Amino acid sequence: MSDIATHLFVPLLILIVIFGTSKYKYIFALLPLSILPDLDLFYAHRALLHNLFIPLALLIAYKYASEKTKYVFLFGGLFLFSHTLLDVFNGGVSILYPIYPNTFVIKAELLVNNNFDIYPFIDIGFKDIPIHCAKWTELPVFSSSGFCIVLLTGLIVILKKHIALKNS
């Protein structure tokens, strides 16, 4: 499971890199939304608030919002989406809850065994049982969290280029 610091700082850094200082008041005011999904700990954890519907609704609202409120919806949706994405790579979430209750998991690792052979392990999909965990003789060289951070970094680059093109 991703920790609170990861849920706070990964999206915070992404938004600061993309928007710089121009949107600090929105970014910091909405930062608590990045840990909000964990409130479902008390009921249907990693399902009730860890699905795609809430961030998607906020991102759709962004498209139709006034200039004054659009960043509230954009950053709110991105904070909630980043939380869900980080947890998909760390044990999985029910991204289609309540329509489909099974857990969606992405587990992508490079493992090294006792012979120092490095090999990939990838498991992606909906699961109704826990997925494979590395044996005690295998150590991750590059974990699912690492792959998630690489993916988010790629999204930063794409969004930054898109925003630069849109503003020019």
Give residue limits of the domains in the chain: 4-91+142-167
Q: Summarize the chain as % helix, strand, coil (round to 5).
A: 55, 15, 30
Can you give the pLDDT at residue 13? 86
**How many whole angstroms separate alpha carbon 73 and alpha carbon 71?**
5
Identify the bridge partners of residue 110 per DSSP, sorted by sequence position.
120, 142
For residue range 53-104, list pLDDT tens digits in order.
999 999 999 999 998 899 999 999 999 999 999 999 888 899 998 898 889 9
